[in-house]
Amino acid sequence: MFWQTSRHLIDLSRPRVMGIVNVTPDSFFDGGRHLASDAARAHCDRLVQEGADMLDVGGESTRPGAQAPSVQEEIDRVLPVLEHACTLGVPVSVDTSSPALMRAALNAQADIVNDVRALRRPGALEVVAGHPSCGVCLMHMLGEDPATMQQAPVYDDVVAEVAAFLQERMHTLQRAGVSAQRVVLDPGIGFGKTGPHNWELMQRQAEFARLGRPLLVGWSRKSMLGVLIKREASERLPASLAAALAAVQRGAHIVRVHDVAATVDALAVWRRSGLAP
């Protein structure tokens, strides 16, 4: 299976590692932005050295209750880092729901739009459809607002409902002229799901294969791991590795992770062991 993106045709015959680059300054002093973007550029270099197959650069925290940055603030944060990432020889995605940032990122040679809202913001679908070849990751989130998505999410059948949503969004893109070869799907671990919903998505992940497109999943350091093993985010690396391996064993094509070096090592052993499905 292949993923068509702006500059790269990505071969997904073996699992790939997407390294997370967050550009979210925790300081609102004037200097904070520059420090944050210098650090983020260095982090891009490090993740590529560690073996990341692609980088995902984002500036909006989707933690429940997080304050959303203004569109201009998000662009000012992300664009300089993205421009640097695009010089490193690997495919680069922009993690945003903002059509203005999507357009700016694609003009700056970004390969992929990764949108946790699956291009539901007005104008977002048009930006992707207006590009001849960029890739897109469509993720499921219950509702459109991280601030409220965790307020008692309810599903009859979480796997069926997430799959139906992803299929509907993919068909909408195809009607707008975006070919399926440009699309990757993501069940959105932690986005409007209870702990049991997330684990059911893992246990039944193989059912997403019938959608016919590659699957990207992100379990890295997320809270359902912490609930299971009772550890803070900084101590969730072993749990995150186990989740990444379980996900690729169940057919995930791309794992979105913070800890690239460790994930690359774990996947090398997994492959050499002949466990590939």
Interface residues with ligand 7PJ (CB under 6 A) are: 20, 62, 95, 114, 116, 137, 139, 186, 188-189, 216, 218, 222, 256
How far is it, in rounded angstroms, from Cα 257 to Cα 206? 20
Q: Look at residue 217 and give its three-state secondary structure.
A: strand
Of 222 and 275, which CB lies nearer to ligand 7PJ in the complex structure?
222
Query: Measured from the CB atom, is 30 or 138 closer to ligand 7PJ?
Result: 138
Which one, 57 or 79, has the nearer CB to ligand 7PJ?
57
Query: Shortest gap between Cβ of 2 and ligand 7PJ (angstroms)?
Result: 18
The reply to whether 213 belongs to the active site is no
Pick between residue 99 and residue 146 the one whose CB is nearest to ligand 7PJ: 146
For residues 140 and 138, give the distance between their C-alpha atoms in angstroms, rounded to a whole number: 7
For the chain, the 3-state helix, strand and coil shares in percent, each to the nearest 5, are 45, 15, 40
Helices (H), the chain: 30-49, 71-85, 99-107, 124-129, 158-175, 195-203, 223-229, 237-249, 260-272
Catalytic residue among 103, 182, 213, 256: 256
Q: Which is nearer to ligand 7PJ, 238 or 275 (CB)?
A: 238
H/E run at residue 19: strand 16-22
Q: How far is the CB of 40 from ligand 7PJ (least distance, A)?
A: 15
Nearest distance from C-beta of residue 217 to ligand 7PJ, angstroms: 7
- Residue 242 tokens read as 């186990």
Of all residues in the shown chain, the one whose CB is closest to ligand 7PJ is 218
Most distant CA pair in the chain: distance in Å? Answer: 52
Check if the beta carbon of residue 91 is closer than 8 Å to that of residue 133: no
- Residues contacting residue 190 through CB under 8 Å, at least 6 positions apart: 198, 218, 222, 223, 224
Least separation, in Å, of the C-beta of 95 and ligand 7PJ? 5
Determine the 3-state secondary structure of 53 from DSSP. coil
Catalytic: which of 117, 182, 222, 250?
Answer: 222
Contact between 23 and 266 (Cβ < 8 Å): no
Give the tokens for residue 127.
Answer: 């930006």
CB of 140 to ligand 7PJ, least distance (A): 9
Look up 256 and say whether it is catalytic: yes
Which residue number, 79 or 138, has a Cβ lying nearer to ligand 7PJ? 138
Please list the active-site residues.
Answer: 222, 256
